[in-house]
Structure 1
Amino acid sequence: FLLSIVLLLPINNRILHHSSYLYFSFQFSTNMIELFRPPSSKLFTTLLLLLLLPLLAYGECTCDLEETDNANKSKVLTFKIIAIASILSGGVVGVCIPILSEKISAFNPGSNFFFMMKAFAAGVILATGFIHVLPDAFDKLTSPCLKENPWGNFPFTGFIAMMAAIAILLVENVATSYFQRLSSNKSKLVNVDEEKNGELCSEVHVHTHVTHGHAHGSVGESNESGGANLIRHRVIAQVLELGIVVHSVIIGISLGASGSPSTIKPLLIALCFHQFFEGMGLGGCISEAKFKVRPIAVMAAFFALTTPIGIAIGIGITNVYKENSQTALVVEGVLNAASAGILIYMALVDLLAADFMSAKIQNNGKLQLHVYVCLLLGAGLMSLLAKWA
């Protein structure tokens, strides 16, 4: 018994990781049991196996990289190039469908189908945050390859996600209020100039001048409300893109740095659908924000190119990138946690709460049922992809 323990302890973790060594260790342990076992000592055998099994199981946990077979390197590179083209295509198609379909009456903001499409997109984004990004952040920041102090002494993943959501709330409020004040000041300047010239602009504000005073009509209030909503939609679209882009870069780098064909093949198909669904969610927000052509093109291209660029970066750093190094784990874990907080907040607060509490959905039971089904469908399909990606 003592001899088997002494011989097993000095073995390097990397060697313990290989299945051939595990088999050898088990056979060696069995032989030692047979050699030193007292007659009819089943208790001794049981205790010895219980002591050795944790040691063998520990061999499966390693912070070292697996060696990539040279014969597979060209095959892996081929899969990565295919992944770049496929994911780029999926992202472009996904983000462009809502944007280009804007001229179709069914896709116009305010239509029932548009609300259903937004609910589906919100479900996709919600599942991305909860099912894809947040668990990965937990895995990274609770890895045994990180030091126990401080990473094992505090739930950093949840804390970072929470702080990211609070930060996005602050950014949205500050940005929206700033642009509203800016728009309001411009409107006041225009009205003052018009009043000085003695012109009445009933399409912007209905003015009734009594003893040099004036009252604002419902048309002006409606326009102000529409302007505030437009500003809010634009802030939402930009913040949502930020959250999606952060985790897309990480996904791309991880895929590009991977050296296993068996890992890349299922990821390739899953990530194509992943980008497609995310693109639909982002495209819906962009179309609702009513940007001009140039900002729309920039945002769509930025989203579509992010993951392929991440893959290209991963290919370039394959030889130096160590996914289990402390630096890589901390950087990826922190960014994933922040991205998860952003996506979850955006899905629940900016997309679902705003639409589901609107008068159009509240007063239409049939539409309410349809948007719930679309929400569950989007969340379910995106959650299903977690089986492969």
Structure 2
Amino acid sequence: MKSNTNYKIIFFLFVVLPLNIFAQFQYKKIDRSFLPALDKKTEIRKIKSTLFTNAKDLTDYLPKDFSKRGDVNYTKYLQKGIDDNKKIILPDFPVMIDFGGLRLSSNSYVLFQENSKLLLQPNKEELYGMLYIEGVENVNVYFANLVGDRDKHQGDKGEWGMGFFIRNSKNVKIYNPTITNMWGDGIYIGNLNKPSEKIEINYAVIDNNRRNGISIVAGENILVKNSLIANTNGTIPQSGIDIEPNNTSDYINNISLDNIITYNNADSGLIFALDNLQGNQLDRVKIDVNNFVDYFSNKGIDFYVDRGYNKYIKPLKGTINIKNIKLFNNKNPIRNSYSAKSNMEVYFQNINIDNKKINTNNLDIFVQKIKNGEEQTLK
């Protein structure tokens, strides 16, 4: 009888409570002033006339009498064009693709035009990627516009439907993507036998995805800058950016977040969850956060530095530098959630919460509680 009671308690905590939280989420329209200050039409024309003068327009690969309404699956036609050419231009109208997605190759350039858009065909898959960048290098994608199927998804399982699925790749640049309505993450950066390296995401707009805006699972020299991640909601972690390795073969080194706005994410603007690196002997944890702003997320910044999953292994080591932070209207502006003791060095500089600068003494106390694994909210 006792074990049955425990089971009911667990069910309540992990199933009933999240459902209540999700039901309370209110989508907030993004204020236009938060969007990257770009004249997209002019930029597309400029890049098209310089980098894509000899590129192939994939409209030529579509069948006769093709639809411009995004209601016909043209995955195989687009993939043929990608396989045949290193420089490609997407059709200047919406195109539907299926859950198999499109796979980009090494040394490739991809341009989305002003009206280009990839729409995901509704499916019941637990995992998908719309654009796969796996095991390749030297890939450049401009102005991607990806729309997932979260509103018409045909199943209720899984949380791994991604916009960009980047694994074991090197020298990747993604410029001014718009990514919405994924079953999982807007962008996933991770490990496929080898972590990714030298990934740059610039001027991204990522909105209303179900699990995370951006997941950084494994990588070195990862730069995310000048970007907006908003309204992440649906299944935990529900974070704008989640830095969370899967296992000790991952590593997190030289991760830079610069000039980022997170807005109204159901759980957190930014999460550090480094537990699964425990036991990694590389000692490579290095994360820098500069000019980070959050509005309306439940937690602005959340630490789960080391929850002690492998509690007999040495505590984690590494450095997290956080400076020039502004947080507004958060229930828990900066939160250290349950953790084990840690050897992580965390440095704060110039932290403002609701237009109030946090004094150095309070920051020092909070850092010590991170090292001690004590729960605390900094307000």
Do the structures match in fold with TM over 0.5? no
Q: TM-score, normalised by structure 1?
A: 0.22
Higher relative contact order (CA 8 A, sep 6+): 1
* TM-score between the two structures when normalised by the length of structure 2: 0.22
Bigger fraction of residues in strand:
2
Q: Which has the larger Rg?
A: 1
